[in-house]
Chain A
Amino acid sequence: MAKAKTDWGFLRGALGVFAICVLISAGLIAGSLYFRASMESDFKRHQAAFQTASRRYLSVDEEERMIREHYPQFVEWYNRGVLGRENRLNWLEVIRYAGQHIRMPELRYQIESQAPYSPPFPVQAAGYNIHASIMKLEMGLLHEYDLASMLDELNRRAAGLYSVDRCLLTRTQKQIGSDASQKNINAACELRWLTINTPGEGIVLK
């Protein structure tokens, strides 16, 4: 007897059932996985919210201590222009006042645009943005104490925190003159004005 040809049609129904079962199984697995993953995500979100809320509740006393200890200083730094927005108008007023008060023979200034600042030393920014504005002062000094007076005026009256990055003092003549209207020393200094603020709207005290 000749060898019978394999009748694959015999398996058609079983293959159909198999395919349907594969689809159903895949659907079941995918659906249950999606459901479980979704529930797990919800659970983690709510659990995190719960942990945050409980931690906050338990830290109310600590928050009270922090506010009591640090908030006055915080407000002071805000009022002095270190926290929040920089106050350039105040700087200009102080510089003009200082120049007149000290009777500085010559005073020129230039303030560059504010830019993000990464200090060369380690700091914990803790979510705050640190910005700096470079102020260039060119001063004609009668003597070096005029520079000290200028910086002192800035310390006392200007809103903000600055640090002098560099300074070049050069004698203008071989012998120091005594004419108060004539400069004896040229001083070119770069001051970095620092401002600390939160992202977005920034710190606003009401």
Chain B
Amino acid sequence: MTSSLRSRFDFVDRRAVYVTGDKVAVYHWRNGALTDSLVFDIGGERQSAFEWQEQGGVAENFTVGSGASETALGEFDHYLKTVPNTPVYMLVDVVEEEYRQDTMPHVIGADRRALIERKLTRLIRGTPYHHAVVQGRETEGRRDDRVLLTALTNPDLLAPLIDLFGRNKVPLAGIYSLPILSGQLLPKLGAKDANVLLVTMHGASGLRQTFFRDQELKVSRLAKMPRLGTVPYAAHVLGELDKVRRYLNSLRLIARDAPLSVYILSSGDLLADLKEQCRDSDQLRYVLTDIADLGRRLGISGALTTPYSDALFAQLLLQNRPKNQYATRGDTSYYGLYRSRAALMGIAGLMLLSSSVWSGFQFIEGVSLRQQALDASQKAKFYEARYEIARQHLPTTPVPPESIARAVELVDTFGQYKATPLDLLLEVSKALQGFDTVQIDRIDWLASTNPEASVQGGKDVAPQDPGLVQQLGNLIAPRAQQAAANPSPAAYRYYHIAEIGGRIDPFTGDFRAALDTVNRLAESLRVRTGMQQVRVLALPLDISSSAKLQGSADEETKAQEAKFSLRVVMGVGNGQG
């Protein structure tokens, strides 16, 4: 089910290149399944490695070139140039593969990688194709890690192919060991025994016998097989099994009397022959599996009709795409570029899709807004028409009606602040009644919203000098003193402010009487309506301590003048003026 789901959404085409000592087989994976294959026989003619039934028909093999004069590598080069440049997963099934069991201290991370690298450098020389698998830990001692070190000891075997891949910019995803990959078959076969020998036949290489202990690969052996049908295959296979059993015993990988489960994959007549000839014993237990059945379980769509397991491993490799085992970074450089290219294309597609969707929403919103705008426009026209109809019986005005009211209010406001000196003159005139000896010579008047404004146009008037008030003593009424020292807070719309200059005439020389007259005049002004402030600016005689005072006691006092000046502030408006 999982496999089916995965293949349903697997649209990345790829290839498995199955490499043996003298053959190169290519398996194509399209739309989530194996489709066709072809074999390049080094030094010989190309032929199909196998054929399997697919939906009642025979899958078409790829054909390249023509004529037997082309070498296999040349044909392979031509093939690489001709077909789509999909990623390649190279599966190596050769005799020249070495397996070493070793242990190393249990470390993790970069230390483990460094330790493995040192072991590979020390134990495996002359090949860049090596791999290490940590298979568990020792049960005793310091519980070291158990490591399987593997290597392809004949790198020259792969060099021409790697060179061809590089020249044709083929994205090589990795180089894989068939014995290591075969471990993935054990769960499918239900092989849970302690000692398992997996026996598979390969059209391209021969008889592969791989030994697992506790599901961990220990060693593998590849034996040449005669051409199918030339010898009794079952007897030959069993003969090879005797050899590998002795080999395992010699390596002490298995005790002589320990049970060994032998899983043999085959099909057709050979499977039947094997079933006849395989006899279980205390040391041997045979499990024979039909390749066609296993192929179906692995998800291969066509029927496998040969006893060879090549397609099974191609399926395993292309379906699971395990992590690279042998390939160097240089070998997979084009695969890195391929992935970068795929990522770029993916991002570009995603960006295009996202921007299209986002733009689509924006466009839809825009269309919706346009429709709303049309609706609003129609409603505006409707109301404008209704307004014009309703407005017909109203007089035409030079400004909108609300502006008419504003203008009238504005004029009213200015009218409230309209000032003339007549109000103050009237109050002064009333205050002067009864003061026959007081003559007014000058009135300097202004209207201001600031009660402290100066009528001279200079700085605003400062509070009266307290020294002058003190010096006047009882000549100035206490109320006037208080008013002078503490002017009332502004409570009026605006103020009449005036400086009144006058004199006592006739003046008999009696300064005390003159001062008293001025004092009384100030009091008379203060009680007038709206009078905010009355301040004595100058007295007929400056008797303050800070002033210089001089004269002659016998001089004619009549010739002297008794001038004075007052500052008067009268508020207007706010219901109080």
Residues of A within 8 A of B (CB): 1-4, 6-8, 10-11, 13-15, 17-18, 20-22, 24-26, 28-29, 31-33, 35-36, 38-40, 42-43, 45-47, 49-50, 52-54, 56-57, 60, 62-64, 66-67, 69-71, 73-74, 77, 82-83, 119-121, 123-128, 130, 144, 147-148, 151, 161-171, 174, 189, 194, 196, 198, 203-206
Contact = CB atoms under 8 A, between A and B. Distances in A.
A201 to B, nearest CB: 9
Interface of B: 128, 155, 159, 162, 166, 169, 328-331, 333-334, 337-338, 340-341, 344-345, 347-349, 351-352, 354-356, 358-360, 362-363, 365-367, 369-370, 372-374, 376-377, 379-384, 386-387, 390-391, 394-411, 413-415, 417-422, 425, 439-450, 455, 493-494, 505
Contacts of A33: 362
Nearest to A127: B403
B399 to A, nearest CB: 6
Contacts of A7: 169, 333-334, 337
Given A24-B355, A53-B387, A60-B391, A165 B417 contact: no
A18 B345 contact: yes
Given A11-B341, A29-B358, A53 B380 contact: yes
Mostly, the B contact residues are: helix
28 contacts: A6-B333, A7-B169, A8-B337, A18-B347, A25-B354, A25-B355, A29-B358, A43-B376, A53-B384, A54-B380, A57-B384, A67-B401, A73-B408, A124-B410, A126-B403, A126-B406, A128-B406, A128-B407, A147-B421, A161-B414, A163-B414, A163-B418, A165-B447, A167-B421, A169-B444, A171-B440, A203-B399, A204-B398
Contacts of B337: 6-8, 10-11
Given A50-B383, A70-B405, 17 more contacts: A2-B330, A4-B333, A10-B334, A11-B344, A13-B341, A14-B341, A14-B345, A18-B347, A25-B352, A47-B373, A57-B387, A63-B394, A130-B410, A147-B422, A151-B422, A161-B418, A164-B447
Nearest to A56: B387
Nearest to A82: B411
A171 to B, nearest CB: 5
A151 to B, nearest CB: 5
A99 B414 CA distance: 27
Pick the 3 closest A-B CB pairs, nearest first.
Answer: A25-B355, A32-B362, A21-B348
A164 B422 CA distance: 10
Given A74-B404, A128-B407, A21 B420 contact: no
Contacts of B390: 57, 60
A36 B363 contact: yes
Contacts of B351: 21-22, 25
A185 to B, nearest CB: 9
A151 B473 CA distance: 42
B344 A17 contact: yes
Nearest to A53: B383
B564 to A, nearest CB: 15
Nearest to B494: A121
Given A46-B376, A198-B399, A17 B410 contact: no
Contacts of B414: 119, 123, 161, 163, 194, 196
A139 B408 CA distance: 33
A110 B574 CA distance: 33
B408 A29 contact: no
A47 B387 contact: no
A121 B373 contact: no
A166 B447 contact: yes
Nearest to A67: B401
A29 B404 contact: no
A43 B174 CA distance: 60
B447 A15 contact: no
A6 B329 CA distance: 11
Of the listed residues B337, B348, B419, B455, the one surrounded by the most CB atoms of chain A closer than 10 A to its CB is B348
